[in-house]
Amino acid sequence: MNNSDTVRFPKPQPEDECQQRWNQHALSRFWRHISPATIPWKRHNKKFEFSVVSYNILSQLLLENNSYLYRSIKNEYLKSQRFQQIIKELELYDPDIVCLQEFDHQIRAKFASHFAPRGFENIYQRKPHIPYQEKDDGCFMMYKRDKFKLIKNASLGLYKDTEGLLDKPNCAQIALFECQDGSQLCVANTHLLYNPRRGDIKLTQLSLILHHIQQVVNPLQQCGGVPVIFCGDFNTVPNAPLYNLMKYGKLQYSEYTPDKISGQKGSKKLHKVAPGLWDDREMGFHEHGLIKRAENELLECRETYRSLTQGSSYVSQAYRDLQCSKCSDLYPYKSGSISHNINFRSAYDHIDCDGRTKEVTTYIQNDSRTVDYIWYSNHDNTPQNCAHGHSCDSYCSSPLLILKSKRRLLTKPELSNMGRLPNAILGSDHQCLQAMFTLYSDPVQDSSGRTWGNLSTD
């Protein structure tokens, strides 16, 4: 799609024109097919397709408490009836899993009663109640009961009384499902803190969620492990340090000031984040490598440590040279870094079909940016992504989660032409993200009991 194909919306007048604009909007949000990267495909007995939606639907209470942001918008577009537009959009996209953020608890019954006859079950995690920071919203997840069975709900509030960086009322959902084909899938949903200056808090919140995701999927791992889809409003922009932690699995956060971690605009000159972002004992996990390792692995690490430090007076330097994430709890100091072992990729590449125009997910006043994501785990047959610690070969039995297509996002010029959000077309100031996935599982075995390693997409 080139610039000349940019969708231009006529100004809203009568009701029939609003419907025409809605139809035009629906056509502009077409599916974009994804050509899979060259990876070691395997023959599988089972192939399961499903789609996932992530959508920040704008809490009514937050809207009313920040009404100055929506001064020039017609009052009818700011009332609770805007949820009818959101429901209409979800019905049009017909997803199998829906992850909503800023979901007011008062509308849960309405959504549940509307979507239950359409085959949906739901779970809800309300934000924690904290004095002087009362919130009326949370995260809401719906899933089609004929395709998914909920095995475990590990949702959590991102708040701890004893930890200073977890003093904000944010939350996350972590659900483990059994899919229709018998395979398993972990789906997470969150809304991180907005404050652009407090990237240290966002990093702490994200780290806690990643730790809990790993706690859910690691006991079930076979090589690449249970596939993970992580949706939400992360309040970070592409290629910011927080984004890179998701994408690359590690971050040296002590190189950044808190306002730079999420890549949003900060207004103060701040000091860099000091190593030792949190107390490991209070958080329940270590900064570097978010999983506590088995005792046999720790014994191996201790031997490695002793061999490196024996006869040396530069013990701390030896620790710095020890590039083993399993040894994190042996570090006598805080490294100022953090890592995780899930090989995440973003379903969106943040550039429109023309290859030049940036995608955006939110448009408030004249400010547009990408802060919403659908992340998915991708098994790439490398040792660090194998639960057994070896280099996986063509006989690896890990399931494959492949991105098949994604629904196109409107660009800033298109949103600007549509008008301020919410409006007659969109019920939120965010866009809805949708991705289609294929899950390959149950590898075919040859006569010797080994799985096939042939290239195949079947």
Q: What does the pLDDT look like over 288-329, one tens digit per residue? A: 556 544 555 555 655 554 554 454 433 334 333 344 444 444
Is the Cβ–Cβ distance between 155 and 125 less than 8 Å? yes
Give the up-direction half-sphere exposure of residue 257: CA atoms within 13 A in the CB hemisphere.
Answer: 12
Query: What is the rounded distance in angstroms from the CA atom of residue 254 to the CA atom of residue 277?
Result: 9
Q: Give the start-end residues of each E strand in 77-119.
A: 97-104
Is the Cβ–Cβ distance between 102 and 58 less than 8 Å? yes
Q: What does the pLDDT look like over 405-453, one tens digit per residue? A: 999 999 999 998 888 899 988 999 999 999 999 998 865 554 444 443 3
Q: Which contiguous run of DSSP H or E holds residue 416? A: helix 412-418
CATH code matching the domain that covers 12-265+341-443, chosen among 3.60.10.10, 3.30.365.10, 3.30.870.10, 3.40.50.2000: 3.60.10.10
What pLDDT score was predicted for residue 112?
94
CA torsion, ordered 423, 426, 431, 433, to nearest 10 deg: 180
Is the Cβ–Cβ distance between 178 and 148 less than 8 Å? yes
What is the model's pTM?
0.83
- pLDDT-flagged residues of the chain (< 70): 1-18, 36-45, 132-134, 162-163, 219-224, 266-268, 280-282, 286-334, 379-397, 442-458
SS3 68: helix
SS3 61: helix
Q: Where are the domains of the chain?
A: 12-265+341-443
What pLDDT score was predicted for residue 350?
93
What pLDDT score was predicted for residue 379?
62
